[in-house]
Amino acid sequence: MNKRLIVVSVLLLIGITLVFAQGGTEPTAKSDGPTKIEMWYNATQTEVGPLPDDWVGYQILKDRFNIELEASSLPSSTTDQDMKIQAASAADTLPDFFVANREVWLRLANNGMLADVTGLYEKMPNRTGIMFDKDAISFTSLDGHSYGFATPAMISRNEGLLIRKDWLDRLGLSVPKTTDELLQVMKAFTFQDPDGNGRNDTWGYGAFIELTTYEAYPGRRFEPLMGAFGIEGTWNMTASNFGLQIHKPEFYEYMKYMKTIIDEGLIDPNWMAYKKDDFRAAWKQGKFGIMREQNAAFAAKNNYSPFDANFPDGEWIIVDPPVGPSGKNSVGPETRGLRIWSISAKAAEEGKAEKIAEMFEWMASGEGYLLCGWGQEGINYTLKDGIPVTVPGELGFEGPVGQTYIQLRSMAFNYSSDTELISRYPVYTTDVSKKQMSALWALREMQGKKWTNSMGADSMPVPSTDLKTFYEQGLAEFFTGKRALTPENWKSFIAEFDKIGGTAWEKAGLEYAKANSYLK
- The residue among 416 and 280 whose pLDDT is bigger is 280
| 317: confidence class by pLDDT, cuts 50, 70, 90 | very high
Determine the Cα–Cα distance for residues 371 and 365; give it in Å rounded to an integer.
10
> Cα(346)–Cα(28) distance, rounded to whole angstroms?
10
Confidence of residue 269 (pLDDT cuts 50, 70, 90): very high
3-state secondary structure (DSSP) of residue 147: coil
pLDDT per residue over 2-21, tens digit each?
Answer: 445 444 444 443 333 333 33
Q: At CA 321, angle to CA 315 and CA 327, rounded to 5?
A: 150
Adjacent-strand bridge partners of 343: 97
Res 426: pLDDT: 86
Contact 197, 265 (CB under 8 A): no
Q: For position 32, what pLDDT does the model report?
A: 67
All domains in the chain, ordered by first residue: 35-155+336-376 (3.40.190.10), 159-335+432-516 (3.40.190.10)
CA pair distance 287, 204, nearest whole angstrom:
9
Checking if the pLDDT of 270 tops 70, the result is yes
Report yes or no: 440 and 425 within 8 Å, Cβ to Cβ: yes
- For residue 9, the model assigns a pLDDT of 45
- Label the pairing between strands 243-244 and 203-205: unpaired
Q: Which position has the higher pLDDT, 82 or 520?
A: 82
Say which residue, 134 or 445, is predicted with more confidence: 445
Per-residue confidence band for 213, with pLDDT thresholds at 50, 70 and 90: confident
The answer to whether 204 and 267 are in contact (CB under 8 A) is yes
Q: Report the pLDDT averaged over residues 236-243.
A: 96
Please give the residue that has the higher pLDDT: either 207 or 14: 207
pLDDT of residue 429: 96
Note the pLDDT tens digit of each residue in 16-36: 333 333 333 344 444 568 999
Burial 107-140 (b: 16+ CB within 10 A, else e): bbbebebbbbbeebbeebeebbebbbeeebbebb
Q: Look at residue 493 and tell me whether its pLDDT is greater than 70.
A: yes
Mean pLDDT throughout 167-195? 98
| pLDDT tens for each residue of 441-465 | 999 999 999 999 998 898 899 999 9
> Residue 134: its pLDDT value, please?
84
- Our separate counts of H helices and E strands in the chain read 22, 19
**What confidence tens digit (pLDDT) does each residue in 367-376 have?**
999 999 999 9
Percentage of the chain beyond pLDDT 90 is 77
Amino acid at residue number 121: Y
Per-residue pLDDT averaged across 396-409, rounded? 92
**Mean of the per-residue pLDDT values of the chain:** 91
- Name which of 25-29, 351-355, 465-469, 506-510 the model is least confident about: 25-29
Torsion of CA 102, 94, 132, 516, to 10 degrees: 30
